[in-house]
Amino acid sequence: MHSTEGVEETSRDLAPDRPASTSTASEAVKRGGDRQELHEIIRRCSMAATARMKDGEDCDLLDRLAGEPSFGLSRGDMERLLNPELYTGRCAQQVEDFVQSIRPLFADLERETARIEL
């Protein structure tokens, strides 16, 4: 078992919130965008994507933002900037280390009767 399984699924669940991150807006500013205009684009696109989601449709926020010429970032640019693994620091390694440290507790257990006493 790899302890980071499910990261991709979790990141999809968080996707609607990610584009409003500082890193995305900051990158758009670096590329020549006006900070105030960019925040207005994010607000407007977020509201439209939220309305769509309330109707049971998928979140299309990244596509909306990418479709805004003034935003200046492609969907691929935003996906690279918003990769959750860029923001988790040492979490994956800490989980791996912990799993390895407790693995001996499970070594001699039978699946049907598994019980660990601490």
Question: Do 78 and 17 form a contact (C-beta atoms < 8 A)?
Answer: no
pLDDT, tens digit, 9 for 90 and up, residues 12-63: 444 444 445 677 888 999 999 999 999 999 999 999 999 999 999 999 999 9
Q: Is 0.85 topped by the overall pTM?
A: no
For residue 91, the one-letter residue type is C
Helices (H), the chain: 7-14, 22-30, 35-54, 61-66, 75-81, 91-106
4, pLDDT greater than 90: no
Block residue for tokens 């010429």: 69
Distance CA 85, CA 93 (A): 11
